[in-house]
């Protein structure tokens, strides 16, 4: 074990199972000596998240559905007494209706648009605002985004619009919170086979296309995303805020 995050406490939102990107991030944080706290969306995930918490040696596991104001308000009440200082927040959450990821983007409904933007983009703002009273010694907030924020990618649709809002929110939050020495960044991961990815039609074709074209001639792994998260969370990343960092085997630089 090395110790890049020794003495730091991290709140990690968005583990659904051991394939989740947030799982790899929590695992890497533990490897680097951080105290890790996990949240899960709802009762559906409680049992498995408690098991995952044990496996990872998490200090606490509790529910936080970012679409519920009460759950966001409870973050500070639940954390404060035991963990008065939070140094790192990982937001690894996204959701859109299945039909909005399969029919043409032009047919996105008002409600589908609101839902995707609220859960996948506004929630970063809600979480940052809820946790910042505990980030008394500065810290690092990070979120996960995807190339579909910046380019038109088939079937990514409203999620691309939500990711664009998320990346913009990252910059505005960085602007607001920098004075408190809180850094806010996004990691733009290449495609990785997770539960969320299964919601994207023809996802395995995307994996094949990226592996064929990316400079590194392969897809990226959750472990690679997690090591970039360690960098951003640690003092090594102390000069970096408001950025979107690509961890995608280089795919995004390629033209035709
Ligand atoms: O290729 C990929 N897998 C990429 C994912 C490439 C680039 C970025 N990302 C992003 C996703 O868009 C997301 O923001 O990474 C983040 C994590 O996604 P993941 O690890 O790929 O997917 P998953 O393991 O499904 O975790 C996302 C979780 C949800 O999982 P399920 O499968 O249960 O929908 O987000 C959580 C939930 O646990 N989530 C919520 N958490 C709290 N409150 C909520 C909510 N309302 N809605 C979804």
Residue 192 CB less than 6 A away from ligand 1: yes
Residue 133 lies in a domain: yes
Residue 164 lies in a domain: yes
Q: How many helices (H) and strands (E) does the chain have?
A: 9, 7
Domain that holds residue 63: 9-248
Give, using CA atoms, the residue closest to atom 24 of ligand 1. 20
The CATH number of the domain holding residue 54 is 3.40.50.720
pLDDT in tens, 97-144: 999 999 999 999 999 999 999 999 999 999 999 999 999 999 999 999
DSSP-assigned beta bridge partners for residue 88: 10, 140
Residue 93 CB less than 6 A away from ligand 1: yes
Give, using CA atoms, the residue closest to atom 27 of ligand 1. 93
Tell me the average pLDDT across 44-50. Answer: 97
Could you tell me which residues come within 8 angstroms of residue 21 by beta carbon, excluding any fewer than 6 positions away?
14, 92, 144, 189, 192, 194, 222, 225, 226
- In order of 18, 56, 89, 111, 128, the CA distances from 34 in angstroms are 19, 11, 12, 39, 20
Residue 2 lies in a domain: no
Q: Which of 29-33, 64-68, 196-200, 250-254 has the lowest mean pLDDT?
A: 196-200
Residue 155 lies in a domain: yes
Q: Which is nearest to 246 in space by CA: 151, 123, 158, 120? A: 151
What does pLDDT average to over the chain?
Answer: 97
| Residue 193 CA to ligand 1 centre (angstroms) | 11
Residue 1 lies in a domain: no
Cα–Cα distance, 162 to 3 (Å, whole number):
35
| Residue 65 pLDDT > 90 | yes
Q: What is the pLDDT of residue 202?
A: 86
pLDDT in tens, 209-239: 999 999 999 999 999 999 999 999 999 999 9
Record the pTM: 0.98
The total domain count for the chain is 1
């Amino acid at each position: 074990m090395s110790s890049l995050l020794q003495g730091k406490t991290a709140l990690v939102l968005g583990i659904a199972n051991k394939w989740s990107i947030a799982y790899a991030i929590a695992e890497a944080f533990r490897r680097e000596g951080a105290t890790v706290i996990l949240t899960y969306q709802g009762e559906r995930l409680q049992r498995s998240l408690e098991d995952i918490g044990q496996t990872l040696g998490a200090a606490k596991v509790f529910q936080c559905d970012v679409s519920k104001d009460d759950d966001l308000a409870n973050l500070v009440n639940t954390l404060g007494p035991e963990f008065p200082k939070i140094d790192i927040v990982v937001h690894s959450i996204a959701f859109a209706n299945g039909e909005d990821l399969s029919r043409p983007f032009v047919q996105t409904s008002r409600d589908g648009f609101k839902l995707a933007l609220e859960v996948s983009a506004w929630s970063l703002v809600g979480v940052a605002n809820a946790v910042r009273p505990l980030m008394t010694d500065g810290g690092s907030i990070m979120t996960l985004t995807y190339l579909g924020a910046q380019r038109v990618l088939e079937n990514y649709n409203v999620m691309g619009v939500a990711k664009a809002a998320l990346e913009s929110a990252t910059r505005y939050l960085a602007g607001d919170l920098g004075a408190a020495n809180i850094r806010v960044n996004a990691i733009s991961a290449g495609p990785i086979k997770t539960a969320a990815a299964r919601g994207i039609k023809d996802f395995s074709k995307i994996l094949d296309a990226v592996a064929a074209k990316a400079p590194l001639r392969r897809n990226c792994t959750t472990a690679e995303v997690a090591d970039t998260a360690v960098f951003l969370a640690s003092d090594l990343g102390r000069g970096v805020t408001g950025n979107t960092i690509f961890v995608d085997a280089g795919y995004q630089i390629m033209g035709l």
